[in-house]
Structures are given as C-alpha cells and as structure tokens.
Amino acid sequence: MRVGATALVGLGLALAAAGLARAEGAQGAPTFPRAIDRQVLVDWLRQETDITPAQVVAVSPSAVTAVLGTIQTASPKGLRMALRAEAIDAQVSDREGVLSWHMLVEVDCPGHRLRQGPTTGYSGRNLLGEGREIRPGTEAWSEPPAGSPLENVWRAACEPTFQRPLAAPRSISTAQAAPTPTPTPPAVTLRPMLIQDIHAAPAPAPPPLPTPQAKPAPQSKPTPAPPQKTQPAPVALRVMTLVSAPVTPRSSTAVQLGAMSTRAAAEAMLDGLRPRFAGAMHDLETSVTPATIGGKTIYRALITGFARTADAGRFCAGLKAGGVACFVR
C-alpha cells in the first residue's frame, strides 16, 4: 500500500503527540550513559526518558532506537512503525544539533526492505522543543544495511524470535516458567458451602392438626403455621445467581497513551479519546498519574480496568489501528 509523504508525516505527528513525554522548561545540561551496557542503559533510560527498555529495538554507539507504535499493512505485508531515538553520544548530538528525533518507517517483510519517512529532530530530550526536519524521507524501497539499526527495525517487525537488546534475557525454559495459577474468585469459593445447603435435609413437616374431639393440653404451645415456601428453592436460586455472576478480579495492567507536561494536558488527551472509542471504553477507567523523570514531573494518561493483560493488548491494538499510539505497561 503506497502512502504519501503528507499521510506519513501526519500519522507520525499523531503517534508522537499521543505516545511521548513532553516537559516544559529547561531540563539542565543533558546527560549521556557512561557505557553501552545493558543495565547502564536501562537505568539511564528510566532516569532521563519515558522510553521503556522493552520498546528499544536497536542500540548503536550514537543512539538508542525504540518503536512507539505499529500499524499492520496488507500490501506489502508488513508494518508501518513510528520510531523514536535518543542520542547517547555527546559528539553526535553536538554535530547534529539534536538530542532526540522521530520518524515513520514502512516495512516490507517478504521483500526484506523498508522505506523511511522524514526524520524530525528536537534539541531536547523526549522530543522537547520545536521540531525541525533533519533528513528527508526516501521514495524508493531499500534493503536495510546489515548490522544497522534499520536492520533491527526490520527484524523486530518481521521475525517473531527477534530478541530486543534491552529486554530481559530469555534464559528460563517453558517448564521452569510455568504461569502462576489464577486465584479463585470469591464467589466460587462460596459454592461448596451453598451446595451443601441444597442437599441438606428439608425442613420438617408441620405436625397434624388435632381432631375436633381432642383438646389441646393446657400447657402445650400453639401449633406453628405451616411455612409458605420450602427452603431449598431460595438457596438454589442464590447459588445460581452467585455462580452465574462471579466477581471477576481486575488486572493491574494499564494502557498508556502518553506523558504530558501538565495534568490538564493529560486529561485533555483522555477526554479527546472517549468520543472516538466510546464503545470500547464504556467499562474501563481513565486516570492521570504523575511521575518524576530527570527532576521534572510528567503526567501519564492511563486507561485501566482490564480483566486480563491480553484484553489490554487487544484494546491498545485497536487504538493503534485508529492512529493512536499506546503501549501496555
């Protein structure tokens, strides 16, 4: 599917605005990681940026490159990916005049090729400041150079076994990493007790009424009135109600849309999303959570209330299909 330069730029700006941290004011002198080491880079990313280690697909001597969002394409079969990079070498940053940049890339999986959109650079971390085009896009498809960050981008899109450089190593076997059993919902734990109630002996029948000739003993108590309903039916109905509507535990998984410099901006982002995805968000919750990165406070726009992590993943995929960047955290 051929996508024009205008459409590529528009989608890139939409994804960047929805999925990247924005901070107002100066952040002080930029810092750079002291070494290209996994733990050093992970600690530096968490302190200076809003990029998660799992988003990083390439690490070079000059920059770390992360995927912010993807949209599947049918012709050619592949992905359209929003990329973001942060400079990790001071000399490269001084030469280019930017600390961070983003661009869109179209990936053709069967053809082992890709096509780049324009690259927009920023003078501050986390795409801070006014963006300017530092490299034009390419009209032609090309094969990514071997060992380059762009080859890692292609592999991340097209190879299911691709190991992201800052992700946790895959050293645990499937047998060792058996999932933790899901706790039994409280409603189900009540079921054995209620089933015993159903099978308990029924209430005793009322004593027979005395014949007209018999007189009740002076000391005897009045005969109780017969019950109007037997007990098993209400108990069975109560069991059916509890079992048919169990209390489903909510997952702690959240879908993050972006991180903004003010709470009002993050709330505006969530408010703008509700009219477009009202059906999918009717039973979900939205919130704004502050976080401190590099000494500055940002506000993350979050969507929560998913029953399972897989549900959050499907919801985020639907947002991406609508042109909204997100990731599951």
Amino acid at 56: V
Tell me: do 154 and 264 sit in the same domain.
no
**Is the pLDDT confidence value at 303 over 70?**
yes
Last residue of a domain, one of 158, 186, 205: 158
Residue 139, C-beta contacts closer than 8 angstroms, at least 6 positions apart:
115
Lowest mean pLDDT among 196-210, 240-254, 275-289, 292-306: 196-210
Q: Quick one: pLDDT at residue 43?
A: 94
Give tens-digit pLDDT for 260-286.
888 988 888 888 887 778 778 878 889
Tell me: do 19 and 138 sit in the same domain.
yes
Give the range of the structural domain holding residue 287, as residue numbers without chain letter: 255-328
Q: Quick one: pLDDT at residue 237?
A: 37
Tell me: do 139 and 277 sit in the same domain.
no
Overall number of domains in the chain: 2
Mean pLDDT in residue range 314-322: 84
Residue 185 in domain: no
**Is the pLDDT confidence value at 14 over 80?**
no
Mean pLDDT in residue range 292-304: 87
Lowest mean pLDDT among 44-48, 63-67, 221-225: 221-225
Could you tell me what percent of the chain has a pLDDT over 70? Answer: 67
**Is the pLDDT confidence value at 258 over 50?**
yes
Paired with 108 in beta bridges are 78, 113
**3-class DSSP state of 75:** coil
Q: Which is more confident, 250 or 310?
A: 310
Task: Count the neighbouring beta carbons within 10 Å of the beta carbon of residue 263.
Answer: 15
Q: Quick one: pLDDT at residue 320?
A: 84
Residue 18 phi, psi dihedral angles, 5° rounding: -85, -25
Tell me: do 130 and 265 sit in the same domain.
no
Burial (CB count <10 Å: 0-12, 13-18, 19+), residue 257: buried
Tell me: do 145 and 281 sit in the same domain.
no
Q: Quick one: pLDDT at residue 49?
A: 92
Residue 307, C-beta contacts closer than 8 angstroms, at least 6 positions apart:
248, 249, 250, 251
Find the CATH number of the domain harbouring 146.
2.40.128
Mean pLDDT in residue range 126-149: 90
Tell me: do 147 and 277 sit in the same domain.
no
Residue found by looking up tokens 């309903």 in the block? 229
**Is the pLDDT confidence value at 236 over 50?**
no
DSSP character at residue 21: B
Residue 324 in domain: yes
**3-class DSSP state of 197:** helix
Lowest mean pLDDT among 133-142, 179-188, 194-203, 253-262: 194-203
Burial (CB count <10 Å: 0-12, 13-18, 19+), residue 238: middle
What band does 111 get if pLDDT is binned at 50, 70 and 90? very high
Residue 217 in domain: no
Tell me: do 259 and 153 sit in the same domain.
no
Residue 246 in domain: no
Residue 205 in domain: no
Q: Quick one: pLDDT at residue 245?
A: 39
Q: Which is more confident, 315 or 197?
A: 315
Find the CATH number of the domain harbouring 285.
3.30.70
Last residue of a domain, one of 158, 185, 202: 158
Residue 13 in domain: yes
Residue 68 in domain: yes
Mean pLDDT in residue range 110-122: 93
Residue 139 in domain: yes
Q: Quick one: pLDDT at residue 131?
A: 86
Residue 308 phi, psi dihedral angles, 5° rounding: -140, 160
Mean pLDDT in residue range 12-17: 47
Mean pLDDT in residue range 193-216: 46
Last residue of a domain, one of 88, 123, 158: 158
